[in-house]
Amino acid sequence: MEQQTKTVLITGGASGLGYLLGQCYAKEGANVVLADVNREALEACVEEIRAYHANLIGVQVDVRNYEQVCAARDSAVERFGSIDILINCAGGAEMRICKVSGEFHENPIEVYDFGLDLNLRGVIYFDHAVMAQMAKQNHGVIIHLGSITGEEGCSANISYAASKSALMHGVTKSIALAGEKHNVRSVCIAPGPVLTRPGMANMKTMLGRAAEPQEIVDMIMYAASDKCEFLNGVHILMDGGRSIMRNKG
């Protein structure tokens, strides 16, 4: 299999799309590094995958802490010798995570600081740290996870919307430019509603359903593979037609 000689570092690897990606890469024989802030969940995920795949480590990391980010990178390189693919899955809507429900101007500004740090700064931290390793290797792929919210906006989770829009329209292009002479490419996969949480089923799409997590994972793995070497500096909106529903006659 193609992934047998590759090392994949996945942030947010103890839940949702990150964990499913870890499972799928492990089944393909890749070296897998799961990074997550939740130690208990991370240890459980690592134990489950290790039952059938030995080339796996878990590293606890808060993506908002650059020292921890660099330590996670170093752990991956020390164990496997390289980082061939970085997939930035860590993130989430600040209102939900911080358990607040007021209007934008009523909520503490710290809620939005948290959202920006988690969804944007943390991604740039990992890109920066891992790009240093990929430049030494002279190859690599960096994948960002965008969102339909980055296109639509959101009156509640403003930091989340701003961060995802930045990843889709600015950061992915910029990382591709920064990686050009090092043979490092960057792609953003931007899902619409995905059934990682029950509430996503209520978001409308032209297909009348939310995406299955495996559908998004398959696209991420394809974009990161050698089959997509010509794909660089772009975002792919995978939203079941949600973004064009307003244009229906």
Pairing of the two strands 85-88 and 140-145 = parallel
Is residue 116 scored above 50 in pLDDT? yes
Q: Which amino acid is at 240?
A: G
- Residue 61's domain comprises 2-247
Is residue 1 scored above 50 in pLDDT? no
Determine the pLDDT at residue 171.
98
- Cα of 129 vs its chain's centroid, Å: 15
Average pLDDT (231-242) is: 96
Determine the pLDDT at residue 248.
55
Number of compact structural domains in the chain: 1
Is residue 249 scored above 50 in pLDDT? no
Task: List active site positions.
Answer: 160
What are the pLDDT digits (tens) for 7-30? 999 999 999 999 999 999 999 999
Residue 191 to residue 210: CA distance in whole angstroms: 10
Give 117's DSSP letter: I
Q: What does pTM read for this prediction?
A: 0.95
Average pLDDT (142-158) is: 96
In sequence order, the β-bridge partners of residue 116 are none
How much of the chain exceeds pLDDT 90, in percent?
Answer: 91
Determine the pLDDT at residue 36.
98
Determine the pLDDT at residue 247.
59
Average pLDDT (137-160) is: 96
Determine the pLDDT at residue 9.
98
Determine the pLDDT at residue 3.
47
The CATH code of the domain that includes 69 is 3.40.50.720
What are the pLDDT digits (tens) for 153-202? 999 999 999 999 999 999 999 999 999 999 999 999 999 999 988 778 88
Helices (H), 51-157: 66-80, 94-98, 109-116, 122-137, 149-152
Pairing of the two strands 85-88 and 56-60 = unpaired
Residue 117 to residue 113: CA distance in whole angstroms: 6
pLDDT level of residue 5 (50, 70, 90 thresholds): confident
